[in-house]
Amino acid sequence: MKIEEEIKGRFKDEFHKAHINIIYTAKQLTYNLLQILKKHDLTEPQYNVLRVLRGYMSEGPVKIAFLKERMLDKSSDVSRIVDKLYSKGYVDRTECASDRRKKDIVITKRGLKILLALDRYNLESNSSVLKLTEEETAELNRLLDKIRD
């Protein structure tokens, strides 16, 4: 459905329309993800941390700063997020051998298991993006990168 029909609105020009369209689409995708995460008692930043940990687990434990650099929301309080994930049993943290003020963080088997379950749900929620061809998706990614530059 076209954005004009979705929000029953008008736009002053194509740039304004594109801006609103990006915001509206992002909110719709985020809402779908949040509904899935809510069922598993996870927040979006917690999910982001778990995915980063899984993606880098072959490289060993990571630090809070490493996670912060890779967060989608750069204003996230990563230490607090890790504390919550630790209390849920999704991550382990130990004192860093070289600097006791820092913590080494790894994803647990339980954390991997919850991600596996969420991966299945994500396939369903990503079905809107799967409507695009691979070439269209590459072009979309290129254009989104260009907007952020």
Pairwise CA distance, residues 124 & 36, whole Å: 10
Residues 42-67: b if buried by 16+ CB within 10 A, e if exposed:
beebbbbbbbbbeebeeeebbebeeb
Mean pLDDT over 130-138 rounds to 86
Tokens representing 78 are 């990563």
Nearest CA to 111 out of 76, 81, 140, 85 is that of 85
pLDDT reported for residue 112: 97
1-5, 67-71, 113-117: which has the minimum mean pLDDT? 1-5
Match domain 42-148 to its CATH number in 1.10.10.10, 3.40.50.2000, 3.40.50.2300, 1.10.760.10: 1.10.10.10
What number of other Cβ atoms are within 10 A of residue 74's Cβ?
9
Q: How far is CA 21 from the centre of its chain?
A: 20
Q: What are the residue ranges of CATH 1.10.10.10 in the chain?
A: 42-148
**pTM of the entire predicted model:** 0.85
